[in-house]
Amino acid sequence: MKGVHPVPAPVIGITPDITGESAAHGLTNRLLLNLDYAEAIAHAGGIPVVLPPVLEPARFLESLDGILLTGGGDIAPHRYGAPTIHPATYGISDVRDEFEIALVHAALNADVPLLAICRGMQVLNVALGGTLIQHIPDEIDSALNHRQQELGIPSGEPAHPVTIRPDSLLARIVGTTHLMVNSYHHQAVAELAPPLLLTATAPDGVIEAAEIPGATFVLAVQWHPERLFQHYPAHHALFAALIEAAQSRAARRATVVEKK
């Protein structure tokens, strides 16, 4: 129809991991991204772009319709008030911590749809004032082994169930209150920061998902749906929900560009 323009595909910014280790040819400070994240966004209808920590987050948000906070190394314990670093802690990047915490605040202030995965969930919680369990086996009695690679379970397979709050956004998205998920973490959310709402737990009580009621879309999961989306529709649905939430922002941005 004349005068009607299709809504552009939402542009989703994805946070990469950062490594300062020396590599071939003297390369350092490289950005690393598991391709599964980008594939999951593209498969759901979005346009994935990687966010290097070289600009203020607000600058990036001018060109983005959604955010995907990815997994990776541990957050520096001092950022959530822990006085010591557990020996199992790995992969701390001050640059990444600072950028992602600032990105969370900017995204929430602008009501930009946000999906947080594994470390991303922990970043979201820490950014809002919450705390973390530094090493699950040391702090939770009868804890599950949340590192399924140590159990010989393939990366593309679920490892344990989670119980989901029935009236939650997560339950509406996945269509169930019981879901099998994978598991690749030794840390977890301890004290959940307001305004986050606990929406899923593992059998040992570990917090597996949280969301912000009233936001356009803020959802965090401790598992890795990007490794499951191709074969498990409920996990694909998480990315589809992010893209759906980002569509209205994409339409608004397109309208502004057209008026210019």
| Token pair for 210 | 């949280």
Q: Which of 100, 118, 186, 211 is catalytic?
A: 118
Q: Which two tokens stand for residue 165?
A: 């709050």
How many residues are recorded in the chain? 260
Query: What is d(CA 242, CA 107) in angstroms, rounded to the nearest whole number?
Result: 14
226 catalytic per annotation? yes
Give the Cα separation of 109 and 141 in Å (integer). Answer: 38
* Strand 11-14 with 47-50, pairing: parallel
From 186, 226, 235, 244, the catalytic residue: 226
Sheet containing 47-50: which strands, arranged edge to edge? 47-50, 11-14, 66-69, 114-117, 218-221, 207-211, 197-201, 160-164, 178-181
Q: Residue 17: enclosing H or E segment and its boundaries?
A: strand 17-19
Instruction: Decide if 224 is catalytic.
Output: yes
Query: Would you say 234 and 58 are in contact if contact means Cβ atoms under 8 Å apart?
Result: no
Angle at alpha carbon of residue 11, lines to 9 and 14, rounded to 5°: 140
Structure tokens, 96:
């990444």
Residue 20, token pair as written in the block: 């300062």
Give the closest residue to 222 by CA, choosing from 117, 68, 133: 117
Q: Look up 21 and say whether it is catalytic.
A: no
The active-site residue out of 146, 160, 186, 224 is: 224
In which element (H, E) is residue 50 found?
strand 47-50
DSSP 124: H
For the annotated catalytic residues, the residue numbers are 118, 224, 226
